[in-house]
């Protein structure tokens, strides 16, 4: 049965979608952008934005009873591929062993003008 996951420790959805959906031992986390859920602020650098996105993902994982070791797939959307290396430096801190499968794309524009968005799939 489908379960909607929602936590105040990650940014609220800015459209008609859920933060995450859990079904059959799988967790599908919607694309997370670098909004600090406590202040609504968005950091400026790609490193700080990636860190905030990963914290937001971690909050959703934890609320649903998962952790980073359960992540099997990530999709990283970047406003500019020139930020790829800096994003990787932060991202790799969260997946230093057995990292998930991943795709990374440059896109024309992201919500609220952010530099990065990451969607995530985790499995128990």
> CB-hemisphere CA count at 13 Å for 103?
7
Confidence of residue 15 (pLDDT cuts 50, 70, 90): confident
Straight-line distance from the first to the last Cα atom of the chain, in angstroms, rounded to the nearest whole number: 15
Tell me the H-state helices in the chain.
Answer: 46-64, 84-94
Question: What tens digit of pLDDT does each residue of 55-85 get?
Answer: 999 999 999 999 999 999 999 999 999 999 9
The pTM (predicted TM-score) of the whole model is 0.96
The hierarchical CATH code for the domain 3-123 is: 3.30.1330.40
């Amino acid at each position: 049965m489908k379960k909607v996951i929602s936590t105040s420790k990650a940014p609220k959805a800015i459209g008609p979608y859920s933060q995450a959906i859990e079904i059959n031992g799988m967790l599908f986390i919607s694309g997370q952008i670098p909004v600090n859920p406590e202040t609504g602020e968005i950091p400026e650098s790609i490193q700080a934005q990636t860190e905030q996105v990963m914290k937001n993902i971690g909050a959703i994982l934890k609320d649903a009873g998962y952790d980073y070791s359960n992540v099997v797939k990530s999709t990283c959307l970047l406003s500019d591929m020139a930020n790829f290396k800096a994003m990787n430096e932060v991202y790799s801190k969260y997946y230093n062993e057995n990292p998930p499968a991943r795709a990374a794309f440059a896109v024309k524009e992201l919500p609220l003008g952010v530099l990065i968005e990451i969607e995530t799939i985790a499995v128990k």
